[in-house]
Structure 1
Amino acid sequence: MLEAPLFPYDLLSADTFPESILLVLVVLDWTVRLLALGWIPHNRRPSVALAWLLAIFLVPVVGLLLFLVIGSARLPKNRMAMQARMNDVIRENSPGSPVLGNTLEQLPAWIESTAALNYRLGALPMVGGNSFEIRTDNHEALRLMAEAVDRAEDYVHFEFYIVAFDDTSRVLLDALVRAHERGVRVRVLIDHLGSVGYPGYRALVRHFDRSGFPWQRMLPVRPWKGEWQRPDLRNHRKILVVDGEVAWTGSQNVIHRSYNKRRNVRKDLQWKDLMIECRGPVVAELNALFTGDWYSETGDLLLDEATGELPGVEGPVFAQVLPSGPGFETENNLRLFNHLIYNANRQIVIASPYFVPDESLMHALTTEAQSGVDVQLFVGETSDHFLAYHAQNSYYQALAEAGVKIYRYRSPTVLHAKFVLVDDYVSVIGSSNMDERSFALDLEVSVYIVDREFRRRMDAVVAQFHEASTLLDLEEWKRRPLWRKYVDNVARLTSALL
Structure 2
Amino acid sequence: MDSFTLFGLDGVWAVGIGLVVYGLGFLAVIDAVMNTRTPQGATAWVFALATLPLVALPLYLVFGRSKFEDYVEALQDFNVRVREGVEGARHGPLAPFLVEPGEDAGEGGAEDAREAGEMRAFGALSTTPFTSGNRVRLLVDGDETFEAIFAGIDAAERYVLAQFYIVHDDRIGTAFKERLIAAAQRGVEVRFLYDSVGSWKLPRRYKRELSEAGVEVCRFTGPRNWLKKLRLNFRNHRKIVVVDGRRAYVGGLNVGDEYLGRDPDIGPWRDTHLDVEGPMVQGLQLSFARDWFYGSREQLDGLVWEPAAAPDGDECGLVLASGPADDLETCGLLYAHAIESAEERIWIATPYFVPDGRVLGALQLAALRGVDVRVLMPRTSDSLLFKYVPYAYLDEVARAGVRTFLYEDGFMHQKVALVDRDFAAIGTANFDNRSFRLNFEVTAVVRDEGFCDDVESMLVRDLGRATEISYEDLEDKSFPFRFAANATRLLAPVL
TM-score interval (norm. to shorter): 0.7 to 0.9
Task: Report which stretch shifted further, 431-440 or 16-25.
Answer: 16-25
Q: Which residue of 1 aligns with 2:188?
A: 184
Task: Report which stretch shifted further, 47-56 or 159-168.
Answer: 47-56
Shift of 1:306: 3.5
Q: Which residue of 1 aligns with 2:237?
A: 236
Q: Which residue of 2 aligns with 1:42?
A: 34
Structure 2 residue ranges without an equivalent (≥5): none
Q: Take 1:99 and 1:46, find their aligned partners in 2: how far apart are those partners?
A: 41
Does the residue aligned with 1:428 lie in a helix, a strand or coil?
strand
CA RMSD of aligned residues (A): 3.2
Q: Which residue of 2 aligns with 1:283?
A: 281
Q: Take 1:61 and 1:138, find their aligned partners in 2: how far apart are those partners?
A: 46
Residues 136-155 of structure 1: pairs in structure 2 closer than 5 A? 136-155=140-159
Matching residue's letter, 2:401: G
Cα deviation digits, residues 380-407 of structure 1 (max 9, x gap) = 1011223344345311121111111101
Q: Take 1:207 and 1:395, find their aligned partners in 2: how far apart are those partners?
A: 46
Query: Could you say if the C-alpha distance between residues 325 and 269 of structure 1 is closer, same or farther in structure 2, counting changes exceeding 3 Å?
Result: same
TM-score normalised by L of structure 1: 0.86
Verify: 1:171 aligned to 2:168, yes or no: no
Does the residue aligned with 1:231 lie in a helix, a strand or coil?
coil
Does the residue aligned with 1:129 lie in a helix, a strand or coil?
strand
Shift of 1:70: 2.5
Matching residue's letter, 2:439: D
How many percent identity over aligned positions? 29
Shift of 1:53: 3.5
Query: Could you say if the C-alpha distance between residues 222 and 22 of structure 1 is closer, same or farther in structure 2, counting changes exceeding 3 Å?
Result: closer
Q: Take 2:129 and 2:308, find their aligned partners in 1: how far apart are those partners?
A: 9
Q: Take 1:361 and 1:457, find their aligned partners in 2: how far apart are those partners?
A: 26
Shift of 1:450: 0.3
Task: Report which stretch shifted further, 119-128 or 236-245.
Answer: 119-128
Residues 295-314 of structure 1: pairs in structure 2 closer than 5 A? 295-308=293-306
Verify: 1:156 aligned to 2:157, yes or no: no
Shift of 1:176: 1.1
Q: Which residue of 2 aligns with 1:217?
A: 219
Verify: 1:61 aligned to 2:54, yes or no: yes
Q: Take 1:324 and 1:222, find their aligned partners in 2: how far apart are those partners?
A: 21
Q: Take 1:190 and 1:104, find their aligned partners in 2: how far apart are those partners?
A: 39
Q: Take 1:84 and 1:98, find their aligned partners in 2: how far apart are those partners?
A: 27
Q: Take 1:94 and 1:222, find their aligned partners in 2: how far apart are those partners?
A: 30
Residues 62-101 of structure 1: pairs in structure 2 closer than 5 A? 62-77=55-70, 79-86=71-78, 89-95=85-91, 100-101=98-99
Q: Take 1:184 and 1:140, find their aligned partners in 2: how far apart are those partners?
A: 24
Task: Report which stretch shifted further, 397-406 or 207-216.
Answer: 207-216
Residues 7-406 of structure 1: pairs in structure 2 closer than 5 A? 39-43=31-35, 44-56=37-49, 59-77=52-70, 79-86=71-78, 89-95=85-91, 100-101=98-99, 103-106=103-106, 108-197=112-201, 201-202=203-204, 204-219=206-221, 228=229, 230-257=231-258, 265-308=263-306, 316-406=314-404
Q: Take 1:440 and 1:308, find their aligned partners in 2: how far apart are those partners?
A: 32
Does the residue aligned with 1:304 lie in a helix, a strand or coil?
coil
Query: Could you say if the C-alpha distance between residues 84 and 336 of structure 1 is closer, same or farther in structure 2, counting changes exceeding 3 Å?
Result: farther
TM-score normalised by L of structure 2: 0.87
Corresponding residue to 2:425 among 425, 428, 442: 428
Q: Take 1:101 and 1:306, find their aligned partners in 2: how far apart are those partners?
A: 21
Native 8 Å contact 1:101 1:314 kept in 2: no
Q: Take 1:129 and 1:311, find their aligned partners in 2: how far apart are those partners?
A: 5
Shift of 1:220: 6.5
Task: Report which stretch shifted further, 39-48 or 129-138.
Answer: 39-48
Cα deviation digits, residues 431-486 of structure 1 (max 9, x gap) = 00111111111100011110001000001111111111110132122221111122
Shift of 1:212: 2.0
Query: Could you say if the C-alpha distance between residues 490 and 58 of structure 1 is closer, same or farther in structure 2, counting changes exceeding 3 Å?
Result: farther
Native 8 Å contact 2:245 2:281 kept in 1: yes
Task: Report which stretch shifted further, 324-333 or 116-125.
Answer: 116-125
Does the residue aligned with 1:234 lie in a helix, a strand or coil?
coil
Verify: 1:461 aligned to 2:465, yes or no: no
Native 8 Å contact 2:391 2:474 kept in 1: no
Matching residue's letter, 1:181: Q
Does the residue aligned with 1:193 lie in a helix, a strand or coil?
coil
Native 8 Å contact 1:75 1:229 kept in 2: no
Does the residue aligned with 1:40 lie in a helix, a strand or coil?
helix
Shift of 1:22: 8.7
Shift of 1:75: 2.1
Q: Take 1:384 and 1:81, find their aligned partners in 2: how far apart are those partners?
A: 35
Query: Could you say if the C-alpha distance between residues 16 and 330 of structure 1 is closer, same or farther in structure 2, counting changes exceeding 3 Å?
Result: same
Native 8 Å contact 1:388 1:495 kept in 2: no
Native 8 Å contact 2:75 2:294 kept in 1: yes
Q: Which residue of 2 aligns with 1:471?
A: 468
Query: Could you say if the C-alpha distance between residues 329 and 387 of structure 1 is closer, same or farther in structure 2, counting changes exceeding 3 Å?
Result: farther
Verify: 1:482 aligned to 2:482, yes or no: no
Does the residue aligned with 2:337 lie in a helix, a strand or coil?
helix
Shift of 1:81: 2.3
Query: Could you say if the C-alpha distance between residues 52 and 286 of structure 1 is closer, same or farther in structure 2, counting changes exceeding 3 Å?
Result: same
Does the residue aligned with 1:336 lie in a helix, a strand or coil?
helix
Query: Could you say if the C-alpha distance between residues 151 and 23 of structure 1 is closer, same or farther in structure 2, counting changes exceeding 3 Å?
Result: closer
Does the residue aligned with 1:333 lie in a helix, a strand or coil?
helix
Does the residue aligned with 2:211 lie in a helix, a strand or coil?
helix
Q: Take 2:296 and 2:28, find their aligned partners in 1: how far apart are those partners?
A: 36
Q: Take 2:24 and 2:187, find their aligned partners in 1: how far apart are those partners?
A: 59
Native 8 Å contact 1:244 1:283 kept in 2: yes
> How many corresponding residue pairs?
478
Shift of 1:235: 0.5
Query: Could you say if the C-alpha distance between residues 223 and 303 of structure 1 is closer, same or farther in structure 2, counting changes exceeding 3 Å?
Result: closer
Shift of 1:61: 1.5
Does the residue aligned with 1:74 lie in a helix, a strand or coil?
coil
Query: Could you say if the C-alpha distance between residues 119 and 299 of structure 1 is closer, same or farther in structure 2, counting changes exceeding 3 Å?
Result: farther
Query: Could you say if the C-alpha distance between residues 24 and 139 of structure 1 is closer, same or farther in structure 2, counting changes exceeding 3 Å?
Result: same
Native 8 Å contact 1:351 1:417 kept in 2: yes
